[in-house]
Amino acid sequence: MNGRAPPPDLSALGPGTRLSTAGREPKSRARFVNQPVARASTILFPTLADLDAAIKAPDKGLYYGRRGTPGIWALEDALTSLEPGAAGTKLYPSGVAAISTSLLAVLEHGDELLITDSAYEPTRQFADQMLAPLGITTRYFDPRIADIAALFTPKTRAILLESPGSLTFELHDLPAITKAASAHGITTIIDNTWATPLRLQPLALGVDISIQALTKYVGGHSDLMMGSATTTAALWPKLARAHYRLGMSVSPDDAALALRGLRTLALRLDRHEKTALEVARWLESHPAVHSVLHPALPSHPDHAIFNRDFSGATGLFSIVLKSGTRASLAPFLDRLHHFGLGFSWGGYESLALPVELTGNRSLPQPARPGPIVRLSIGLEDTTDLIADLDQALIHWHNHQP
């Protein structure tokens, strides 16, 4: 999109080939494997006629740094070509900026937004604290809702989805939700950070805007912040206008890092998925663990939806402990060697994080006997991670009253 040639359709290729090919220059001339990093604000035009031609078609080529440079377009095109049904992608300085800008692109004063109760906390805060004063109201719904159309009013304009929810891992029945929404002209937006387009292709299931925090799996090395929104031809003009009017722009250096991360995404996800499943299965039978919230496990209540809509899992899931409170977690979390204690996920290094749902859910939650801990499984070896969790859980268990 953008007046540039549309990226090629790579959907017939395997994931590794798609990731090696996406966003690359055509074979018809001598070229770099990777776009050189171009740091630019000003672009110089040879003549006034060239400047005037650029003003007439500002999205056709080089114009001004904020309008993009070839390395940024390469990343946009690569992300577009990973999602069948996509017409274009915009990049944002963070995942949160991708979400907030996409919401502003489709909502106006008097509209109503429906958000899954499992949504990422800053998404809720943006709706409650920034959209509400603009006259856009929000209602939260059960991520497992069976009949979403029952919630629609004439004011309902958009639905914000996240599947699985990144703390408690509920899945949506996406085809049912998008079918109901499109029948009422309601825009659907999904935060697809957990699955990435390699594991779930939301536009093919009828979603209108597919968002990723590239900060997570695409970056993959915990060294950059970026977000993306990929959409259909119908919504592209609105998305592109909001991106431009709100002054969204990303660093060309970070775009190069994200594109580098994208090249190895399939490899890394296969490893994250495999190790995470091994660790999750082991945790399911651990005496200190009440349950494991991982949609690829048969014990997960939405496992049938997972098998139907997703082509695989990634490396993030939660555990519910058998007893205790959040405050009781120190002997467990402080004792871990291979799991860092920190925010974010999707990097090569494993992380653990206590999950806080207070103030973060509008609907009642199922009773849970102990605190929730979220684990991001990195690229370390399964046996080392299991040994680490085991010694820390036993230590925690011995400290329980």
Ligand X SMILES: *Cc1c(COP(=O)(O)O)cnc(C)c1O
> What does DSSP assign to residue 131?
I
Minimal distance in Å, beta carbon 349 to ligand X? 16
Question: Is residue 193 involved in binding ligand X (CB under 6 A)?
Answer: yes
Question: Is residue 360 involved in binding ligand X (CB under 6 A)?
Answer: no
120 to 159: interface string for ligand X, x by CB under 6 A: x---------------------------------------
Minimal distance in Å, beta carbon 142 to ligand X? 18
Local structure of 141: helix, strand or coil: strand
Question: Residue 174 in contact with residue 207, Cβ under 8 Å?
Answer: yes
Q: Which one from 216, 263, 271, 374 is the annotated catalytic residue? A: 216
CA pair distance 65, 62, nearest whole angstrom: 8
Q: Which two tokens stand for residue 289?
A: 């663990």
335 in catalytic set: no
Nearer to ligand X, 201 or 376 (CB): 376
Select the residue interacting with ligand X from 113, 198, 213, 320 (CB under 6 A).
213
238 in catalytic set: no
Q: How far apart are the first and last CA of the chain?
A: 61
Local structure of 347: helix, strand or coil: coil
- Nearest to residue 141, comparing CAs of 362, 365, 377? 362
Question: Is residue 166 involved in binding ligand X (CB under 6 A)?
Answer: yes
Question: Is residue 91 involved in binding ligand X (CB under 6 A)?
Answer: no
Local structure of 394: helix, strand or coil: helix
Question: Is residue 95 involved in binding ligand X (CB under 6 A)?
Answer: yes
Minimal distance in Å, beta carbon 231 to ligand X? 17
Stretch that binds ligand X, among 12-20, 37-45, 139-147, 208-216 (CB under 6 A): 208-216
CA 252 to chain centre: 21
Nearer to ligand X, 120 or 140 (CB): 120
CA pair distance 83, 88, nearest whole angstrom: 10
Minimal distance in Å, beta carbon 211 to ligand X? 8
The radius of gyration of the chain's CA atoms, rounded to the nearest angstrom, is 22
216 in catalytic set: yes
Minimal distance in Å, beta carbon 21 to ligand X? 26
Minimal distance in Å, beta carbon 120 to ligand X? 4
Question: Is residue 94 involved in binding ligand X (CB under 6 A)?
Answer: yes
- Nearest to residue 83, comparing CAs of 202, 183, 254? 202
Stretch that binds ligand X, among 16-24, 144-152, 210-218, 373-381 (CB under 6 A): 210-218
Lay out the sheet containing 340-341: strands in order across. Answer: 289-293, 316-321, 372-376, 351-355, 340-341
Q: Which two tokens stand for residue 50?
A: 């060239």
| Strand residue runs (E) in 93-208 | 112-116, 137-141, 156-162, 187-191
Q: Which two tokens stand for residue 340?
A: 């860092």
Question: Is residue 79 involved in binding ligand X (CB under 6 A)?
Answer: no
Q: Which one from 66, 139, 260, 322 is the annotated catalytic residue? A: 66
179 in catalytic set: no
Q: How many CB atoms lie within 10 A of CB 270?
A: 15
Question: Is residue 167 involved in binding ligand X (CB under 6 A)?
Answer: no
Number of residues that bind ligand X (CB under 6 A): 13
Q: Interaction with ligand X in 330-349: which residues (CB under 6 A)? A: 344
Q: Which two tokens stand for residue 39?
A: 């740091």
Minimal distance in Å, beta carbon 194 to ligand X? 6
Q: List residues bridging with 293 in a β-sheet.
A: 318
Nearest residue to ligand X by CB is 95
Q: What are the catalytic residues?
A: 66, 120, 191, 216
The residues that touch ligand X, with contacts defined as CB under 6 A, are 94-96, 120, 166, 191, 193, 213, 215-216, 225, 227, 344
